[in-house]
Amino acid sequence: MQAIRCVAVCTALGVAASVGAAQAQKPPVASNSPAAQSRTEILTYDNWTVTCRDGVDPKEKRVCSAELVIAQEANNQRRPVFVWILGLNKDGAPTNAWRFVTGLSIPPGLELKFADKSRKVPIATCDAAFCSATLPVDDAFAKEASALVQSEAVLQTADGRTVTFTINMKGFAQALAAIRR
């Protein structure tokens, strides 16, 4: 088995696009209006970064997501190779989303190893930039993931090699709680 050595990096990438899309559907508010001011809060829970943005309109619901980024260092640059995002779906239920490098074999999917348990997650999409997978956060998943200090994500490349990402899970429980508020 070939493992890629990766460095965990926390960053807040995914929220601005989803909030921006929601705000783009509304007419602009004058910049001197008190309602035109929105607030963004960024919290760090160990390896997880939680970004929450209040809507421009006070009636808009606060939108939060959590993210853990694993980046590979090459040529003095960090390139994200595995990103785990926690957010709420349209029904308000917590959901996992993963983005990772391309060049994978689709059928085996993503395998999450939680201590002595393993979960298979089908790869939903792949394009030239990245592949992605999603899975709802049910009570069992939340309990298992919150109890871990470390887990692994295993993917198979198109040429049959195995790529394993070691994930430091510290902060998962706090990040999940923060996006649910």
Q: What is the CATH number of the domain that holds 68?
A: 2.60.40.1880
Secondary structure (3-state) at 174 = helix
* The pLDDT value given to residue 35: 46
Query: Is residue 141 packed enough to be buried (19+ CB in 10 Å), middle (13-18) or exposed (0-12)?
Result: middle
Give the whole-angstrom CA distance, residue 61 versus residue 57.
9
pTM: 0.76
Helix 139-147 / helix 172-180 crossing angle, nearest 10 deg: 140
Element (H, E) at 144: helix 139-147
pLDDT of residue 106: 86
- Residue 28 scores a pLDDT above 80: no
pLDDT in tens, 117-151: 999 999 999 888 899 999 999 999 999 999 999 99
The pLDDT value given to residue 36: 56
In a domain, 144, yes or no: yes
Closest by CA position to 175, among listed 61, 83, 56, 87 = 87
56 in any annotated domain: yes
Domain membership of residue 1 (yes or no) is: no
* Confidence check: pLDDT of 10 > 60: no
Q: Is 76 a residue whose pLDDT tops 60?
A: yes
Strands (E), 21-127: 40-45, 48-53, 63-74, 77-88, 94-100, 110-114, 117-121, 125-126
Please check the confidence at residue 83 and state whether its pLDDT lies above 70: yes
Q: Is there a domain that residue 2 lies in? A: no
Would you say residue 65 lies in a domain?
yes
Question: What residues contact 158, with CB distance under 8 A and at least 6 apart?
Answer: 103, 104, 105
The two tokens of residue 170 are: 């510290």
Give the number of other CB atoms < 10 A from CB of residue 87: 20
Total domain count for the chain? 1
User: Average per-residue pLDDT in the chain?
Assistant: 80
pLDDT at 16: 25
Residue 95 lies in a domain: yes
Domain of residue 148, residue span: 7-180
